[in-house]
Structure 1
Amino acid sequence: MKSGDDADAASTYPKTPLFQAQNAARYDRQDQIKRYEELTGSRLIVMIDQIFDYSVTLIEELVMGGDPEQPMHLLLSSPGGDGEVAVRLVRAMQARCSRLTIVVPDMAKSAGTIMCLGADELLMGPASDLGPVDPQFPVNGRLVGARDIEQAVASAEARVAASPDAFPLYAGLLADVNMLMVEQARSAKARSYDLIREALACARRSPEECDSLAEALRGPLVDDAVYHGASFGPERAKELGLPVRDAELDGEAWRLLWLLWTRYFQVGAWPAGPNGIYEGRFASQFLPRPASGD
């Protein structure tokens, strides 16, 4: 039976059969979240999306009322986005929990990796993947790394200098890139190391630990990374000192997380589809996006 305010709200605003049918998948996912929370004693929230300014409000919605004495788990999948926002997000979560665990069932690239650096623990399976810290920008409906923007412009300039007749071709190929975007890409790329250090400081680490770990990560995640999609798996992350815990693949907790992840995968959440999802036991936001190029 319901009691108190919940019972009053349920009787005053009952859910109709059609409304329940339309939201059945959402209720199913939130039930899985509840079961995981009961099993682990943590608060579980989910973010499957690009990382941009609007993410801050949506994460705040999920962590509202969080008990600072309770652990929080974030199930995260992201192709990346704005690293500055990533630091703000992990800072907001750390302020609402006693210990932050980020669960990576699939991938958390670029700005997603920055978020992971601010966790007290990373829970990863064999196929879980982080990646180089390369700020991304929306270009023609998709995300493009700062490194790729800079290299594309430099390559076009060199080829046009060698063959001026090729200018119309490269002007057309780079029609969606302007000099302001190029300068923003260069500035964001230069900030990458600082963002790594700031993210590491969000977790419960001493300044000396942050400095040491940031220096260890600088090469693999910034200086030596030549491809935005380069793999950075759990074993490599552990070698460099990140607090990775291997998922118990036959354990009940991972089974519940994987069941939950497959439900998001089925409804077209990143990276399988065009939808962003922010969800917890008490809040749920589903963000359909236009197709690439729209």
Structure 2
Amino acid sequence: MDFLSLLWLFFIISSLQPVIRQRMLDAARQRLLEQLERKRKSRVIVLIHRQETMSLLGFPLVRYINIEDSEAVLRAIKMTDRDIPIDLILHTPGGLVLAAEQIARALTKHAAKVTVFVPHYAMSGGTLIALAADEIVMDENAVLGPVDPQLGQHPAASILSVLERKPLSEIDDETLMMADIAEKAIRQVKRTVCELLRDKMPVERAEEVAHTLASGVWTHDYPITVSEARELGLPISTEVPEEIYQIMALYPQTAQRRPSVEYIPAPRSRQSSV
């Protein structure tokens, strides 16, 4: 075989390698999901968002909950018998309120138990989805987040605060219109949160929690820890099955030139250091 043939063979193998690697990864995910479903006798749905990179230009693209996600999750729920529990593995920075609400409302309508697993974080719209669960299983270090609506680059609550700090005569028309939209957005999200929590706590308490989560009490990226979530009255557990972490490992962050975090991927104890 001459050099040119070897070169072509190298290019062919190199081009097929990512495809083969992805197929192997998909197969490993499928096996682990099936294993977890057999163990828990449930339907397992995964909603994981990672930062991805454009294959050609290398620009980072952050993924969020979108309509395609809600369509896929709703299909999975619809394909699940009403007496089969649903386990949703959630790892997301949030996304479209519409998509998150669709998923949350569909989960509340499911007759069997719904469990949401949060191994690392479920912020904003992810928290809205988690509120629909009968049980939220979080890693001890995982966090949820406020669900206050955002209008463009600004929190709705912050836009409303302008009306309280300046006379109306000094506020431009666009800000006044944005404030009107902001008021409606907050009211709508608070109503949704109340509806999601009405079967989990008294109505008065649900309204208090809705106000805390949706009215800009915290900044939008405020991390709600396990203890704070429990103080809010949410049904929190920290018994995360090991399979959840194994599944997360099969959804790796897009490879970078140099990893930001490095460690020896093996359990570490005093005995192992001897």
Where on the TM-score scale, by shorter chain, does this alignment land: which range?
A: 0.5 to 0.7
Query: Which of 70, 79, 88 is residue 84 of structure 2 equivalent to?
Result: 70
1:229 maps to 2:221 = yes
How many residues of Structure 1 are paired with residues of Structure 2 in the alignment?
222
Q: Please, which of 142, 158, 161 is the counterpart of residue 128 of structure 1?
A: 142
Larger Rg: 2
Does structure 1 residue 260 correspond to structure 2 residue 242?
no
For residues 18 and 126 of structure 1, the distance between their equivalents in structure 2, rounded to whole angstroms, comes to 35
Please give the residue correspondences for 1:17-96 in structure 2 after superposition, counting only pairs within 5 Å. Answer: 21-49=21-49, 50-96=64-110
Cα deviation digits, residues 201-239 of structure 1 (max 9, x gap): 4xxx27xx3513313414532346231111111111112
C-alpha separation between the residues in 2 aligned to 1:180 and 1:30?
49
Q: Map 1:137-286 onto structure 2 (within 5 A).
A: 137=151, 145-147=155-157, 150=159, 183-201=180-198, 205=199, 209-223=201-215, 225-247=217-239, 254-267=241-254
State the Cα RMSD in Å.
3.3
Residues 238 and 74 (structure 1), Cα distance of their counterparts in 2 relative to 1, 3 Å cut: same
Are 1:102 and 1:121, in contact at CA under 8 Å, matched by a contact in 2?
yes
Q: Secondary structure at the match of 1:191?
A: helix
State the distance in 1 between where 2:131 and 2:140 align. 19
**TM-aligned CA distance change 1:37 to 1:137, over 3 Å:** farther
> Do the aligned partners of residues 129 and 77 (structure 1) sit closer, same or farther apart at CA in structure 2, a change above 3 Å counting?
same
Pick 1 or 2: higher relative contact order, CA cutoff 8 A, min separation 6.
1
TM-score (norm 2): 0.68
Paired AA for residue 217 in structure 2: A
C-alpha deviation, 1:28, in angstroms: 1.2
- Gapped runs of 5+ residues in structure 2? 1-15, 50-63, 256-274
Deviation of the 1:98 alpha carbon: 0.5
Which letter does structure 2 place at the counterpart of 1:264? Y
Amino acid at match of 1:35: Q
Task: Name the CA shift for 1:127/1:17 in 2 (closer, same or farther; >3 Å).
Answer: closer
Tell me: CA distance 1:152–1:55, structure 2 relative to 1, closer, same or farther (3 Å).
Answer: farther
Query: How far 1:105 moved relative to its partner?
Result: 1.1
Partner letter of residue 146 of structure 1? A
**One-letter identity of the residue aligned with 2:220:** H
Q: CA deviation at 1:46?
A: 0.7
